[in-house]
C-alpha cells in the first residue's frame, strides 16, 4: 500500500502557494474533536504543560490549549498562516529573528504563551526551544513527504521530554484512489517509526469520510489517534 505514495513530494513552495491562494481545506474552524476527547489522557494531571505543534498551520487548538493554561510552541513554514492565526484569534503579537536558525522568525503573543516559529520543521531542534511535555500531531506526520518519515520520527522523539505524551492523528484510505496530501500512514508504520523507543497505544478510530474527502475520490477514510510515550519514561521518574 505504501509504495503508491512513497515518492510523492510536496515542496515547501507548494504549501506556501496553497496559503497564498487560500487552498487550505485542512484548516478546521473548531477545536479538533479527538484532541478534546483525549485531552485528559494527554495532560495526565499536569498543569502548565508545554505543548508542541509540528506543522501547526493556524490551528485554533493552539489558542484553546493556551486558554486552558498550557504553553504552546508551533512550527509552520508559511508566514501568512502564522499571521492569520494571531489576527483571526485577536491576539496582539511581536516577531523577532531566531539567532540559531538562519532566516527563521519567532512570532509570540503578548501574553507569551503561544510561540510560533516560521521555518522548515527540519531546521528546528530541542536546542531552539527545549523539549516538550506534550505533542499534538494533526496534519503533520500525514503532511510530511513520505520519504522523510524516519527523519521526522527521529526529530519528534528528540523533542519529547521524559514525561511527554504525544497524541498522533493518522489517516487510512486507499492510496489508489487519492494521492495525498494528507498521506496514508498505516498503523504498522506508526509502530515501525516509534516502536523501538516508545510505547504506542491505539486510542480511537473514527470514520472521517466527509463531502470534502469524498470529492477526493475516496469511499472510505479512517482517522486513527494514538498515544505515544517514551518506553523508559516510567523508569526515569522512579525514585532511585
Q: Closer CB to ligand SAH, residue 17 or residue 219? A: 17
Do 55 and 121 form a contact (C-beta atoms < 8 A)? yes
Nearest distance in Å: CB 27, ligand SAH: 5
Rounded CA separation 223/178 (Å): 15
Nearest distance in Å: CB 166, ligand SAH: 14
Residues of this chain that bind ligand SAH (CB under 6 A): 12, 15, 26-27, 55-57, 59, 75-78, 81, 120-122, 138-140, 143
Nearest distance in Å: CB 108, ligand SAH: 17
Q: Closer CB to ligand SAH, residue 26 or residue 216? A: 26
- Residue 44 zone, left/alpha/beta (φ > 0; ψ -120 to 50; rest): left
Q: Closer CB to ligand SAH, residue 140 or residue 170? A: 140
Cell numbers for 167, please give them: 497524541
Selection from 165, 146, 160, 167 nearest residue 224 by Cα = 167
Strand partners, 202: 226
Nearest distance in Å: CB 96, ligand SAH: 18
Rounded CA separation 105/142 (Å): 25
Nearest distance in Å: CB 232, ligand SAH: 29
Q: Scanning the structure block, which residue is given the C-alpha cell 478510530?
A: 205
Q: Closer CB to ligand SAH, residue 53 or residue 194? A: 53
Nearest distance in Å: CB 60, ligand SAH: 9
Rounded CA separation 157/217 (Å): 34
Cell numbers for 55, please give them: 506543522
Q: Closer CB to ligand SAH, residue 23 or residue 231? A: 23
Q: Closer CB to ligand SAH, residue 163 or residue 223? A: 223
Selection from 8, 12, 4 nearest residue 123 by Cα = 12
How many beta carbons lie within 10 A of that of residue 144, not counting itself?
A: 24
Rounded CA separation 182/142 (Å): 5
Amino acid at each position: 500500500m505504501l509504495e503508491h505514495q512513497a515518492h510523492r513530494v510536496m515542496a515547501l513552495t507548494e504549501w506556501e502557494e496553497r496559503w497564498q491562494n487560500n487552498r487550505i481545506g485542512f484548516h478546521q474552524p473548531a477545536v479538533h474533536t479527538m484532541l478534546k476527547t483525549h485531552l485528559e489522557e494527554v495532560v495526565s494531571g499536569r498543569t502548565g504543560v508545554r505543548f508542541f505543534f509540528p506543522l501547526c498551520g493556524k490551528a485554533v487548538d493552539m489558542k484553546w490549549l493556551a486558554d486552558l493554561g498550557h504553553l504552546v510552541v508551533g512550527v509552520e513554514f508559511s508566514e501568512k498562516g502564522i499571521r492569520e492565526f494571531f489576527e483571526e484569534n485577536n491576539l496582539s503579537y511581536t516577531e523577532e529573528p531566531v539567532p540559531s536558525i538562519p532566516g527563521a522568525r519567532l512570532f509570540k503573543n503578548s501574553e507569551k504563551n503561544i510561540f510560533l516559529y516560521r521555518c522548515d520543521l527540519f531546521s528546528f531542534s530541542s536546542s531552539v526551544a527545549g523539549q516538550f511535555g506534550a505533542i499534538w500531531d494533526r496534519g503533520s506526520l500525514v503532511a510530511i513527504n513520505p520519504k522523510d518519515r524516519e527523519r521526522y520520527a527521529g526529530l519528534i522523539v528528540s523533542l519529547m521530554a521524559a514525561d511527554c505524551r504525544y497524541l498522533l492523528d493518522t489517516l487510512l484510505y486507499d492510496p489508489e484512489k487519492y494521492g495525498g496530501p494528507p498521506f496514508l500512514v498505516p498503523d504498522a508504520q506508526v509502530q515501525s517509526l516509534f516502536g523501538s523507543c516508545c510505547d504506542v497505544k491505539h486510542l480511537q478510530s473514527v470514520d472521517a469520510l466527509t463531502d470534502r474527502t469524498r470529492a477526493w475520490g475516496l469511499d472510505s477514510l479512517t482517522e486513527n489517534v494514538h498515544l505515544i510515550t517514551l518506553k523508559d519514561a516510567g523508569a526515569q521518574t522512579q525514585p532511585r
